[in-house]
Amino acid sequence: MKPHYSVIVVGGGIVGATAACALAVEGIDVALLDVHNPVRQWPDDERADIRVSALTRASQNILKAVGVWDAMAERNIEPYDQMHVWDASSAGLLHFDAADTKYDVLGHIVENRVTVAALWDQLESLPSASLLCPAKVTDLSCHIDKAEITLEDGSVLTADVLIAADERDSVLRQMAGIQTTGWEYKQDGLVATISTEKSHQNTAWQRFLPEGPLALLPLKNGDCSIVWTLKHETAQEYITLADDEFLQKLEQASEGVLGGMLSVGPRGAFPLRFQTAQQYTVEHFVLVGDAAHAMHPLAGQGANAGLLDAAAIAEIIIKTQQKGRPIGSRKSLREYEQWRKGDNLAMMSSMDVINKMYTQENEVFKQVRGLGMQVINQTNILKNYFNQYAMGLRADLPELANKD
């Protein structure tokens, strides 16, 4: 460990490790810090972890560009070529198919541990990257010429740019004095891995229910990952149900689309929140991923938005250095904020509106939203627009996301 790095990234999850990888691949001197060493090996026959991400085409491009996609595929990624969305309270139905695009799949369902393990393996192989773990930050100071952190063991490190990727309840964000705006949804996301009677058909299934959507996402060996949005009280009750009782409720909620529910692994639940940092940067300091924004998971866009953050800040730092300018300048970091904050807020607001729209129980409202889904499903221009957007393929993407 040395006292100064060009960039220090705090938080070794998907977003932080991707940012570090994107910088290190281009020879930027970067250190990645995390409190915990991630799991990088597990038995081949072990059931999939309960935390997964639906990675878009844009995210795939980013992970390919930093050299980890093939390693992820070796561990296991599950493509899906169709999405089937329907409303329990109306005749609303949407069906998306990769056959209607120039791509063979719409996206991939990937365990978070698979992505993190591949990224950390890659960082270990890059000469300009340092992995500092376990390392806990106890103090942060942002000066006019550098960012400075103190670790739990008393070590003091400085950087031209400090990237905080330490999740939704970011300690570094609080240390930097950045406030957040938002609200609790009073909903939890219940997650688990299940096996079903019928094949998932490499399809992502989602049914909108009165308490929130239920997503059934395809995994290896025919299993599915579920993300079930429920009222907080309901989720806590369902966590404690016996397996057979839980599976019965799940089969009913899914309308039996995959037949009987055969088994379920460990269950977890996490509270859902709309949260945005009032600013993404201060002197020599920047927020990425959930540290900057947290959104409703109903369309699975949280990790994808974070990966775009990682690609954007890496691009700005690399180009700024190539021009011979200070990479931690207020101007360059503000460019990142202006680039990403609006896009993130638009995505977050869209998810918020959809969530509220589908939890309305007014009969007229139900029929209107059902009609709206049918119109989209039968109108190719609208359908293709939503399909492209869901794949992350839109204007103003970072260069790494465009490297198809």
What pLDDT, on a 0 to 100 scale, did the predictor assign at position 403?
A: 73
**Residue whose C-alpha is closest to residue 305's, from 259, 345, 247:** 345
Is residue 43 situated within a structural domain?
A: yes
Is residue 253 situated within a structural domain?
A: no
CA distance 34 to 255: 42
What pLDDT, on a 0 to 100 scale, did the predictor assign at position 375?
A: 85
What pLDDT, on a 0 to 100 scale, did the predictor assign at position 152?
A: 96
Confidence of residue 131 (pLDDT cuts 50, 70, 90): very high
CA distance 310 to 316: 10
**Residue whose C-alpha is closest to residue 332's, from 347, 353, 318, 350:** 318
69-87 tens-digit pLDDT: 999 999 999 999 999 999 9
Q: Residue 163: pLDDT above 90?
A: yes
Can you name the residues that pair with 184 across neighbouring β-strands? 273
Is residue 91 situated within a structural domain?
A: no
What pLDDT, on a 0 to 100 scale, did the predictor assign at position 233?
A: 98
378-397 tens-digit pLDDT: 888 887 888 777 788 887 89
293-336 tens-digit pLDDT: 999 998 788 999 999 999 999 999 999 999 999 999 888 999 99
134-152 tens-digit pLDDT: 999 999 999 999 999 999 9
Q: Residue 220: pLDDT above 90?
A: no
CA distance 253 to 242: 17
What pLDDT, on a 0 to 100 scale, did the predictor assign at position 370?
A: 82
Is residue 73 situated within a structural domain?
A: yes
Domain containing residue 12: 4-77+107-182+273-361+394-402
| Dihedral sign computed on CA atoms, order 70, 395, 163, 170 | negative
What pLDDT, on a 0 to 100 scale, did the predictor assign at position 394?
A: 80
Is residue 354 situated within a structural domain?
A: yes
Which pTM was predicted?
A: 0.95
Q: Residue 287: pLDDT above 80?
A: yes
What pLDDT, on a 0 to 100 scale, did the predictor assign at position 91?
A: 84
Is residue 8 situated within a structural domain?
A: yes
Q: DSSP string covering 257-308, please?
A: TT--EEEE---EEEEEEEEEES-SEETTEEE-GGGTEE--GGG--HHHHHHH
Q: How many CB atoms lie within 10 A of CB 227?
A: 22
What pLDDT, on a 0 to 100 scale, did the predictor assign at position 269?
A: 97
Is residue 197 situated within a structural domain?
A: no
What pLDDT, on a 0 to 100 scale, did the predictor assign at position 214?
A: 97
CA distance 172 to 154: 17
Q: Residue 1: pLDDT above 90?
A: no
Q: What percent of the chain has pLDDT over 70?
A: 100
Pairing state of beta strands 224-231 and 261-264? unpaired
Q: Which residue has the higher pLDDT, 376 or 365?
A: 376
CATH number, position 28: 3.50.50.60
CA distance 297 to 215: 10
Mean confidence (pLDDT) of the chain: 94
What pLDDT, on a 0 to 100 scale, did the predictor assign at position 353?
A: 87
Give the three-class secondary structure for 54.
strand
Residue 332 sits at the vertex; the CA angle it makes with 330 and 337, to the nearest 5 degrees, is 90
Q: DSSP string covering 199-214, please?
A: --TTEEEEEEETTEEE
CA distance 393 to 218: 22
> What is the mean predicted confidence (pLDDT) over 4-18?
98
Is residue 310 situated within a structural domain?
A: yes
What pLDDT, on a 0 to 100 scale, did the predictor assign at position 116?
A: 98
| Contact residues for 395 (Cβ-Cβ < 8 A; gap 6+) | none
Q: Are 209 and 253 in contact (CB under 8 A)?
A: yes
Residue type at 201 in one-letter notation: Q
> What is the mean predicted confidence (pLDDT) over 230-243?
97
**Residue whose C-alpha is closest to residue 385's, from 395, 370, 400:** 395
Q: Are 263 and 124 in contact (CB under 8 A)?
A: no
CA distance 270 to 229: 10
Bond into 210 cis (ω within 30)? no
> What is the mean predicted confidence (pLDDT) over 130-136?
97
Q: Residue 365: pLDDT above 90?
A: no
What pLDDT, on a 0 to 100 scale, did the predictor assign at position 276?
A: 97
CA distance 82 to 96: 5
Tokens of 52: 């997964």
Q: Which letter, b or e, does each residue of 26-56 get, where b requires 16 or more Cβ atoms within 10 Å of its Cβ?
A: bebbbbbbbeeeeeeeeeeeebbbbebbbbb
Can you name the residues that pair with 209 across neighbouring β-strands? 212
**Residue whose C-alpha is closest to residue 40's, from 146, 124, 130:** 124
What pLDDT, on a 0 to 100 scale, did the predictor assign at position 124?
A: 97
> What is the mean predicted confidence (pLDDT) over 106-121?
97
Confidence of residue 185 (pLDDT cuts 50, 70, 90): very high
Confidence of residue 376 (pLDDT cuts 50, 70, 90): confident
Quote the DSSP letter at residue 220: G
Q: Residue 364: pLDDT above 80?
A: no
* Tally of domains in the chain: 1
Q: How many CB atoms lie within 10 A of CB 260?
A: 12
Pairing state of beta strands 4-10 and 30-33? parallel
